[in-house]
Amino acid sequence: MGGAAQQTAFESGGAAMSAILILIAASLGMACLFLAAFIFAVRRGQFEDTSTPSLRMLADETESKRNSSISETKSKNNEHKRRNI
Amino acid sequence: MNTNVETFKYDNRIVRAFAIATIVWGIVGMSVGLLAAVQLFFPDANLNFQFITFGRIRPLHTNAVIFAFVGNGMFTGIYYSLQRLCKARMFSDALSWLNFWGWQAIIVSAAITLPLGFTTSKEYAELEWPIDIAIAIIWVIFTVNLIGTILKRREKHMYVAIWFYIATALTVAVLHIVNSMEIPWSWMKSYSMYAGVQDALVQWWYGHNAVAFFLTTPYLGLMYYFLPKAADRPIFSYRLSIIHFWALIFIYIWAGPHHLLYTALPDWAQSLGMVFSLMLIAPSWGGMLNGLLTLRGAWDKVRQDPVLKFMVVAVTAYGMATLEGPTLAIKNVNALSHYTDWTIAHVHTGGLGWNGFLTFGMLYWLFPRLYQTKLWSTKMANYHFWIGLLGMMFYIIPIYVAGVTEGLMWKQFNKDGFLQYPNFLETIVQVVPMFRLRAIGGSLYILGYVLMIVNLYKTAKAGQFQKDVEAQAVPFNKKSEESGSHLWHRWLEARPLTFTALSVVAILVGGLVEIIPMYLVKENVPTISSVKPYTPLELLGRDIYIREGCLACHSQMIRPFRSETERYGEYSKAGEFVYDHPFLWGSERKGPDLAREGGKYPDAWHYNHLDDPRSTSPGSIMPRYSWLLTQKLDTTSLPARIKALRKVGVPYPAGFENGPAQKDLQAQADKVVANLKTGSINADSDREIVAVIAYLQRLGTDIKSAPATQTQTTNAK
In B, minimum Cα distance to A27 occurs at: B253
* Residue A49 vs residue B493, higher pLDDT: A49
Nearest-Cα distance to chain B for A84, in Å, is: 16
Work out the minimum CA distance from A23 to partner chain B, whole angstroms.
7
Cis before residue B582, ω within 30 degrees of 0?
Answer: yes
Residues of chain B scoring pLDDT < 70: 1-3, 477-500, 502-527, 704-717
Check residue B627 and give its pLDDT: 96
3-class state of residue B632 by DSSP? strand
How far apart CA B129 and CA B184 sit, in angstroms, is 7
The reported pLDDT for the residue numbered B211 is 87
pLDDT score, position A44:
82
B38: buried, middle or exposed (CB in 10 Å: 19+, 13-18, 0-12)?
buried
Q: Residue B623: which of B550, B692, B547, B551 has the closest Cα?
A: B550
Query: CB-based contact (8 Å) between A32 and chain B?
Result: no
Does residue B255 contact residue B273 with C-beta atoms inside 8 Å?
yes
- pLDDT value of residue B178: 85
Contacts of B684 by beta carbon, 8 Å cutoff, 6+ apart: B673, B690
Q: How far is B27 from B25, CA to CA, in rounded Å?
A: 5
Residues linked to residue B190 through DSSP beta bridges, in sequence order: B184
Q: Do B198 and A16 touch (CB under 8 A)?
A: yes
Q: Residue B76's CB: how many other CB atoms inside 10 A?
A: 25
Question: Tell me, what's the ipTM?
Answer: 0.71
The pLDDT of residue A69 is above 60: no
∠ CA B539-B542-B545, nearest 5°, is: 160
Maximum Cα–Cα distance across chain A: 95
Check residue B235 and give its pLDDT: 94
In angstroms and rounded to an integer, the radius of gyration of the C-alpha atoms of chain A is 29
Sign of the torsion angle spanned by Cα atoms B309, B314, B315, B320:
positive
Beta bridge partners of B7: B472
Report which of B541, B540, B545 is spatially closest to residue B556, judged by C-alpha positions: B545
User: Which pLDDT value is given to residue B661?
Assistant: 95
- The pLDDT score that the predictor gives to residue B266 is 79
Give start and end residues of each alpha helix (H) in chain A: 3-12, 18-43, 52-56, 70-84
Cα–Cα–Cα angle for A32, A35, A36, nearest 5°? 85
Q: Model confidence at A6, in pLDDT bands (50, 70, 90)? A: very low
Tell me the whole-structure pTM to 2 decimals: 0.89
A54 interaction partners in chain B (CB closer than 8 Å): 228, 234-235, 238, 241
Q: Which amino acid is located at B428 in the chain?
A: I
Across the interface, whether the CB atoms of B529 and A6 are under 8 A apart is answered: yes
**Alpha-carbon distances, residue B447 vs B299, B441, B463, B567, B585 (angstroms):** 27, 10, 25, 42, 36
Provide the chain B residues 505-564 that lie in CB contact (below 8 A) with chain A.
514, 521, 523-524, 527-529
Per-residue pLDDT at A13 exceeds 60: no
Angle of CA points B520, B200, B708, to nearest 5°: 90
- Residue predicted with more confidence, B437 or A70: B437
Any bridge partners for residue B184, and if so which? B190
Give SS3 for B182: strand
The three-class DSSP label of residue B232 is coil
